[in-house]
Chain A
Amino acid sequence: MAKGRVSIVVEHCKSCGFCVEFCPSHVLALSSAFNSKGYHPPHAVHPEKCSGCDLCGMYCPDFAIFATKTPGAKEGDK
């Protein structure tokens, strides 16, 4: 069970790539799909690696991504 879960508000994303670049566990990648403004929002390619640290949420200039800790996940769980 992953320690955290990343949520993406697809319509707010402007595909700057900050979250993809600075995620410490490399959970994210820009997808090839478009949102309605024509940007490529990120998606979680390795959701099981997410630690819920919310660094993606702090870097996001568009308030379009955030991560939450999974309640009940133990330290050391993958």
Chain B
Amino acid sequence: MSDRLITDIVNAGVNPVDHILRTDRMPHIWCPGCGIGTTVNSFARALIDSKIDLGSLALVSGIGCTGRVAGYVKLDSFHTTHGRAIPFATGLKLANPKLNVVVYSGDGDLSAIGGNHLIHAARRNIDLKVICVNNLIYAMTGGQTAPTTPGHSTTSTNPYGTFEPSFNLPHLVEAAGAVYVARWTTFHVRQLARSIGEAFQKKGFSFIEVISPCPTLYQRRNKLGDGLDTMKYYKEKSKVRHGAPTGEVGLTMTGEIIVGKFVDRDRPDYQTMMRTQYCESLGERFVEQEEMVCS
């Protein structure tokens, strides 16, 4: 058996996603069984498949376990302050409209401290691709109740069970005005990669929620097993329903998970609306913004 392992090391070629990752920083800090690495893997494969120019791509992430993604990808990446990934990304997009800006952050960062930014970016329809890794808890700070924690689950701040109603993120962003809303779990790797590729084709606020296991804090405290058990649960309990009304896709602790592409619509994005308005009110005096060049 040990012979086999040594052979495998010798045989190891180059991982197809290696050129998108900072391999010198591996192994990463995420726990065994955590799904964030799997989502990064799907994201990297989506970038390869959609043949996006990596030089025109910027990845912005906030604070938290998922916030670490910015440090592990070999792209122009930005690890911002807590909850402010979307404002930084908005600034990037406005200053350089040709940039593809991806916001890669967790549920706590995007929907709790950054909840206000999330709904306003969706309302303005700023051309951002938001990937929200939802592990149903504040993981890096020690397993406190997050706005996405489903009812009756035990957390470090609710040792006798959570009683607050939780956020249904696809419903929230659809109501706020997002043009593309999808949800997958870490079990649906190929579907997730395809969805990320589709989001790159859309102009406007795209939101992809990925349900991910947190074996160290959420699953362990709720006696739901480890990462692999959660993946089996996703496999068993998830139902693909494209176009499902987002009001009906709320999450429960052990119930069914509705996944799929919920919303795919077209709406003028922020910059188009700005140009239209200024052309209308200023007429000849409106001058198109020159491309910004950093020297």
Contacts and interface: CB of A to CB of B under 8 A. Distances in A.
Interface residues of B, number: 39
A17 B232 CA distance: 11
Interface string A1-19: 0000101111110111110
Nearest to A47: B4
Nearest to B21: A63
B215 to A, nearest CB: 8
Interface in A1-45: 5, 7-12, 14-18, 21-22, 31-33, 37, 39, 41, 43-44
A54 B16 CA distance: 10
Contacts, number: 100
Contacts of A59: 38, 41, 189
Interface in B28-78: 28, 30-38, 40-42, 45
B38 A18 contact: yes
Q: Which of A16, A22, A41, A44 has the most CB of B within 10 A?
A: A16
B25 to A, nearest CB: 11
A10 B36 CA distance: 20
A61 B16 contact: no
Interface string B1-33: 110110011011101111001010011101111
27 contacts: A7-B12, A7-B13, A8-B5, A14-B31, A14-B32, A15-B32, A16-B226, A17-B228, A18-B38, A18-B227, A18-B231, A21-B228, A22-B231, A33-B5, A43-B4, A57-B17, A57-B41, A58-B38, A58-B45, A58-B190, A58-B193, A61-B30, A61-B35, A61-B38, A61-B40, A63-B37, A63-B41
